[in-house]
């Protein structure tokens, strides 16, 4: 069976990349954050995600970027108090 796209899971790769990029950009000092581009990334992320899962992807990205941080605290930061979304 032929695979969809280039990798067979292009949408997932792009979703994870967008979430990770947005979280990384949020870590910059406010004066260095490219706000307009960040809003565009957020729109692209929302368009590629299942409804209501943007915050889950962002929390997962932040956990990946900060593996020593408390995952439950990160999930709570994104409004996901049970750690699962």
Each domain of the chain, given as residue ranges in start order, spans 10-77
Reading the chain (85 residues) residue by residue, the pLDDT tens digits are 567 789 988 999 999 999 999 999 999 999 999 999 999 999 999 999 998 899 999 999 999 999 999 999 999 999 997 645 4
Q: What is the distance between the alpha carbons of residues 27 and 2, in angstroms, rounded to a whole number?
A: 40
Q: What is the distance between the alpha carbons of residues 8 and 21, in angstroms, rounded to a whole number?
A: 22
Beta-carbon contacts of residue 71 (< 8 Å; ≥ 6 apart): 63, 83
First-to-last C-alpha distance (Å) of the chain: 33
DSSP state of 11: H
């Amino acid at each position: 069976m032929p695979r969809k796209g280039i990798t067979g899971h292009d949408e997932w790769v792009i979703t994870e990349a967008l979430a990770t990029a947005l979280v990384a950009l949020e870590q910059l000092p406010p004066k260095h954050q490219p706000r307009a581009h960040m809003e565009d990334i957020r729109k692209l992320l929302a368009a590629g995600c299942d409804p209501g899962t943007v915050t889950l992807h962002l929390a997962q990205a932040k956990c990946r970027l900060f593996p020593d941080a408390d995952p439950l605290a990160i999930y709570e930061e994104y409004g996901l108090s049970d750690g699962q979304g």
